[in-house]
A and B are shown apart, each in its own frame.
Chain A
Amino acid sequence: KAGVTQTPRYLIKTRGQQVTLSCSPISGHRSVSWYQQTPGQGLQFLFEYFSETQRNKGNFPGRFSGRQFSNSRSEMNVSTLELGDSALYLCASSLGDETWSGNTIYFGEGSWLTVV
């Protein structure tokens, strides 16, 4: 079955602009999470959504936001882009449950964002 799909794969934005990244989870998966990967900070958790509700959020400024739709698709938005936002943004999905179950989390190929 199809894996986690992210669009766009590559994009270049100018400082001050905003960007929206999209993610389609594996069919049947209800939990979607986002991670930022940079050479300096490594892989950092942004937020997680389940049934259109944000359940957990990492330590990122309010410029980073996300949402989940009723079909489990998700988008994340970064406003007022800064040079330091250049990174690989990874979306991940899992079955998700009402309570914690340590489901395996599957990742997409990521969106490479460059801010100039």
Chain B
Amino acid sequence: GAVVSQHPSRVICKSGTSVKIECRSLDFQATTMFWYRQFPKQSLMLMATSNEGSKATYEQGVEKDKFLINHASLTLSTLTVTSAHPEDSSFYICSARDRRRAGGPQFFGPGTRLTVL
């Protein structure tokens, strides 16, 4: 089946630093990847849609200058949390859609737990 990986799985950083999270589709190509954020005991929130070769589309209320998304290839999208602060601590999940299956399901990564001290 389709596999999506994320790296790192956990990261702890100091306030003010930047953190990069990678999302890779391992056995398929994805023109579209999604980035989600999950708060404790709450449901998933879509942050942005990442399109290969073009700018990401951000959801309302998500700061694009703080959460930089780069979808440089058909198998890799990165989310960079810039100047992280404790309120950015969360669980970040990516998903990807196989380009061969228009409108097909998303395959989810295992998530990255970010803790900002």
- Chain B binds chain A: no
Chain A contact residues, CB within 8 Å of chain B: none
Interface residues of B (CB under 8 A from A): none
